[in-house]
Chains A and B, each alone.
Chain A
Amino acid sequence: MSPLVSIAGLSVAFGGAPVLRGVDLALGKGEAVGLVGESGSGKSVTWLAALGLLPRHAKVSGSVRLDGRELLGAPAAELDRVRGGRIAMIFQDPASALNPVLTIRRQLCEALALHRDLQGEAVKAEAKRLLDLVGIPDAGRRLQAYPHEFSGGQVQRIMIAMALAGNPDLLIADEPTTALDATIQAQILELLSTIRREMSMAMVLISHDLGVVAENCDRVAVMYAGRIVEQAPSNQLFADPVHPYAQGLIGALPPLDGPRRRLTAIPGTVPDPAHMPGGCAFAPRCALAAEPCGLAAPSLALISDDRTVACIRAEASRRALLGIAAE
């Protein structure tokens, strides 16, 4: 099956500092892919670049194809149709993405007018249907309200309704629940997965929370310093991470049950994009680093049918992991 979106060699630099250094990622129709990694690893920039939303001074190269058509450098009119139409995006801070002085109805109807061939009463009916769909009680009346009259969780629901206005094939959800309390986060994630199933929409879920991604995605890509370092089906990644950084992330997560163990913290910090180490960017923090790691950045290579890892010592790392497990 040909992918819905395929990203190849996507690179972005700001003022000479490389923040994306060749991202490769493909996404099938209806698939849910998670993107995890520390803050600053390039999760958001990947999709901002793909949709042409970065400031002009950003240097972007590589390729982003939607159904085979190149998006990078595409005419503005075409990008306008894609954004909010075939690909919609919701952000971490929902309040700032809504206009505080316009009613929810105005904002929903504007989004509908832009991307759907609907007129007059049909627009209003569709706006109400969308609010109903995302679980805003008393939707008909609440259309008249302004953003500040809704709670944080409800604002995020409204953002989801706006994103759905264009009937997208792909929804990019960038940290959609980070600002919300646990019980409200659970509501929003449940809503997202229900809608995704019903509309057979693909989704990229960006999160720094491994648990959130693991539970809601078929496949997970782990980013580090502007690259994807491991990519695998969710259950396999968490049961058997291969890249030392992916292993570190999972070991750093305190367990919620079973015996307590000392957390395996990854030493050091993420490299500054302006001073990226040569070779593997993770080498300064990697327990398995050896001389060849400093020579060239390892590229993503298949280790099984559906898994890729960017580590020259992937085999050694896997053995080390098994060794730890057997202890």
Chain B
Amino acid sequence: MSAPLVEVSTISRSYSMRSGMFGRATAVHAVDGVSLTIAKGETLGLVGESGSGKSTTGRIVLGLEPPDSGAVRFDAKPMAAPGTAAWRAQRARMQMIFQDPLGALDRRLPVATQIREPLDIHGHGTPAEREERVRELLRAVELTPAHGARYPGALSGGQRQRIVLARALATKPDFLVCDEPVSALDVSIQAQVVNLLCDLQAQLGLTLLFISHDLRVVRQISNVVAVMYLGRIVEIGSADDLFARPEHPYTQALVSASPAPGRRSAGRIVLAGDPPNPAARPQGCAFHPRCPRATARCASEVPALSAVGGDRQVACHLVTGAQTRDAA
């Protein structure tokens, strides 16, 4: 594995939330002690249900929001303080792509103008060079200058997401955080964008943090996958192996819940109970109220994320290493 580009150590972030008009403020632990590293040129996939803290992790990694505790290092240097020149230089090397391309674009401007915007802001090259770069970026995302002249409303969802991607690539970033970038797209269009992202990553040597609730898409694009549940990473490991042999009971349920053509639902693990609520996180292992294998210990003791063999790490009292892996 090459040197890490991104190193996240035990970041936490909580928000205070008031329930009802006179309700007491409660702390929502959106992210709680998350550590991960992403090697240069690799993709880390982050999966989990709604509210598990994926986007918050992404925003902290990008420096869009500070962690309450913990730290992020980018290219072996700590993140600079927001607003400083060092911060801007660092930020130009990282970009973010969101789920909703229409929301990310300005409806009143032709899309080529919006691709050029970051070049204008960072004062890259002469105006003519910027125009050429915009044409190059449109080509890179498999669109034409004619598409560039259009307004966002006149493009399809997949085309808009390509424009957002082109704009994110304008300043030649090293690192992209993609938050559900294809979730709003139809399967056939999703495949176009996933292929494009894979190609661009290979050509440009990009490092990606790829956030999605779609296990299939995440496996397709990631080297390493981390599974989050209520603000914590409960399992992390290499993508193919993790989905082939999930160890954590929650990952097992997630993989089993992913519908597959050619398989009937027989034998599926269906979890009882409601989706997790970050404002009322259970004691001990946060998954214990829904876990089919929970024991008394799980309700009181938080399992630590620990190595269980290979490159896999699991946070579960019952998964402790070699013997469980062989049994699987």
Contacts and interface: CB of A to CB of B under 8 A. Distances in A.
A211 B260 CA distance: 4
B19 to A, nearest CB: 12
Contacts of A262: 195, 198
A152 B49 CA distance: 13
B271 A210 contact: no
A252 B188 contact: yes
B254 A183 contact: yes
A54 interface: no
**How many interface residues does chain B have, given as a range?**
35 or more
Interface string B161-192: 00000000000000000000000001111111
Q: How would you classify the secondary structure of chain A's contact residues: helix, strand, loop or mixed?
A: helix
Contact of B243 (A152, A153, A184, A257): A257
Interface in A152-200: 152-154, 181-187, 189-190, 193
Give the interface centre of B187, B191, B253, B262 by most chain A CB atoms within 10 Å.
B187
Nearest to B198: A262
B41 to A, nearest CB: 17
Contacts of A255: 216, 219
Interface in A239-297: 239, 248-257, 260, 262-267, 269-270
A20 B194 CA distance: 30
A238 B216 contact: no
A216 interface: yes
Interface in B122-162: 156, 158-159
A214 B159 CA distance: 29
B78 to A, nearest CB: 35
B263 interface: yes
Interface residues of A, number: 47
B275 A186 contact: no
Contact of B254 (A182, A208, A270): A182
A190 B216 contact: no
B256 to A, nearest CB: 8
Given A182-B213, A209-B259, A238-B262, A252 B270 contact: no
B188 A38 contact: yes
B195 A38 contact: no
Given A256-B215, A260-B220, A269-B156, A235 B187 contact: no
Contacts of B159: 269
A151 B215 contact: no
A152 B275 CA distance: 9
A211 B259 contact: yes
B255 A249 contact: no
A215 B265 contact: yes
A183 B191 contact: no
Interface of B: 49-50, 156, 158-159, 186-192, 194-195, 198, 213, 215-217, 219-220, 240, 243-244, 253-265, 268, 270-272, 274-275, 290
